[in-house]
Structure 1
Amino acid sequence: MKSYLLLFTVILFSGVAGAQQLPARWDELVASDFSQALQKSSKTCILPIGILEKHGPHSPIGTDLIHVREWAARAVKAEYAVVFPDYFYGQINEARHQPGTFALPSKVIWELLEATCDEIARNGFDKIVILNGHGGNPEFIRFFMQSLLNKRHNYAVYFYQPQNDKEFTDQYLKMHQSDPQNDQHAGEGETSTLLYYRPDLMRMDRAASQSGANQHRLNLPNVYTPIWWYAAYPNHYAGEGAKASNQLGKFTTDHEIASFVSALKAIKADTVTLQLQKEYFDKVDSLNK
């Protein structure tokens, strides 16, 4: 009897310990654990930014959001950081003609991102890592970050920008079935990622029901116009999602998670960026004295 009671006690306490494991998601933490999360994360918070837009006729509107949510959730199992809740306020004006698109005015998304970073910092984080899942966001994010130098901040923002090595690229191209040059939005690559992360949300029987080919409706060499994307891809679909595979999705996500974990470790250990920011702002302030 004693042995059974001992076994039951071990199982009970091991279950409690598992249930009390420190969550990584901000919204799943209890307030009394927040200081522990700050310490464990080295005051590092991941801000995954997605978007709400059409992703072909087969992939969910929140594909980019789901992608970064799953990406961050898996990465922090290997390297702990606090993950900010779902954030889908980015630049997506080019998809306003499609149902389900959530596009706020430029001024609003700018001010909201700055206010969000300020509020994350007010809660004790001094490192904010932007993990972006939407191809239309990088220009906006980079300009936003450069503008942070307009005034002193007590936190640093890092924009993770993955670079694929030759070994990965060579293997990826071997597994890839469609034309890589046109595989941009809801095509084989992106569809494969979602097919691996959330197969329950995919409608693969519809993937070939619309064209994802470049329509080449505008030809202005060395000239940029904001209507360029619509001119090329009026269906807001670029590629061949029907050729996606779970195998390509797993290969891609395994690599992207490992790469982000490596960057996250470096960011958590970084002491130079904040030091240089302080030095920079001290010099800026000294000009007014």
Structure 2
Amino acid sequence: MHNPIPPHRYFPYLTWTEIEAMPDRENVVIVQPMGAIEQHGPHLPLAVDSAICTTVLGQALAELNPAIPAYSLPPLYYGKSNEHWHFPGTITLSAETLLRVIHDVAESVYRAGFRKLVLLNAHGGQPQVLEIAARDLHLAHPDLMVFPLFVWAVPNCAGELLSQKELELGIHAGDAETSLMLSILPEQVRMELAQTEFPQGLPTESWLTMEGALPFAWVTRDLSASGVLGDPTVATVEKGDRLLESLAQGWVTVLEDIYRFQQPQARLDLPQVP
């Protein structure tokens, strides 16, 4: 059940008595890995985001200082993927359902005495949902520290390995994800079916972009006939190995930071500014 999470870091393998006896539960780091089951072009399986999230987390937990208590919950494989639902095989939750699931998981974690919950996400279609959930949970429980984080957000070596065009526009099933999958699940990658397709019809001489400070709403079918946004044909296992190691190293650092983190508390006894 645990792979690729190290068994000693897999929350479901604990007993209730071990949890009850666990010291300093307030600073134990609980991680909810989150991905998606959605199309990734003709050459990649539906499980890409889930596979990347759990593998990066698993390697980070394996490399984490054993003295730091951190555990992974079972992966949440389904996410909000309705931007891909025109392609067969995509399974999506609504934003409302995903919010409810996160809320109920977090309430269970809180009830068990834990106060640090990481929502570790690898699917680009749902960071905003996680941010809303995190804020609402912290409002409901001021002593609950919630971290809505994206697996690609840590410093990593992608800038050394990918072309500038790929870094800007290769956001789905392109070089990075395909290289990682060649490293993680090579038997599930069909490189003979890989095809290059960058977003079509983007506005020119405009400040508006598909992602960034001034985005417009889009679904994948607006931009791509194949479901690919990028160039997977240049992917290699060597790139994937390097990406995996650099991402895992970044998450070791972040998990250490979260273990040390304490929620900021403003002093309420300061004089009020008129």
TM bin, normalised by shorter chain, reads: 0.7 to 0.9
Please, which runs of 5 or more residues in structure 1 have no aligned partner?
1-20, 284-289
Quick one: which amino acid aligns to residue 63 of structure 1? V
Matched, 1:184 2:171: yes
The one-character-per-residue Cα deviations of 1:110-134 (angstroms, maximum 9, x if unpaired) are 1111111111222232101121111
Q: Corresponding residue for 1:206?
A: 193
Equivalent residue of 1:265, what SS?
helix
Q: Does 1:227 align with 2:218?
A: yes
2:40 is aligned, of 30, 46, 55, to 55
Shifted more, 41-50 versus 211-220: the winner is: 211-220
Task: Answer yes or no: is the 8 Å Cα contact 2:170–2:198 preserved in 1.
Answer: no
* Residues 34-55 of structure 1: CA deviation (Å, up to 9, x unaligned): 3566769942101111011011
Contact 1:50 1:133 in 2 (8 A): yes
The answer on whether the counterparts of 2:115 and 2:144 sit within 8 Å (CA) in structure 1 is yes
Please point out which of 240, 256, 279 is paired with 2:231: 240
Does 2:90 align with 1:110?
A: no
Q: Once the 2 structures are TM-superposed, how far is the Cα of residue 239 of structure 1 from its aligned partner?
A: 1.0
Partner of 1:147: 136
Q: Distance in 2 between matches of 1:40 and 1:107?
A: 30
Residue 22 of structure 1: how far off its partner (Å): 6.3
Counterpart in the other structure of 1:249 = 240
> CA separation in 2, counterparts of 1:218 and 1:170?
25
Q: Which moved more, 1:79-88 or 1:213-222?
A: 213-222
User: Greater helix share, 1 or 2?
Assistant: 1
Aligned residue pairs, count:
252
Asked if the contact 2:138/2:146 (under 8 Å) is kept, the reply is: no
* Residue aligning to 2:252: 261
Distance verdict in 2 for CA 1:240–1:41, change over 3 Å: farther
Q: In the alignment, is the contact (CA less than 8 A) between 1:22 and 1:37 conserved in 2? A: no
Name the CA distance, whole Å, in 1 between partners of 2:126 and 2:93: 13
The higher radius of gyration belongs to 1
Distance 1:99 1:229 in 2: 13
User: Runs of 5+ in structure 2 lacking a partner?
Assistant: 1-5, 209-213, 270-274
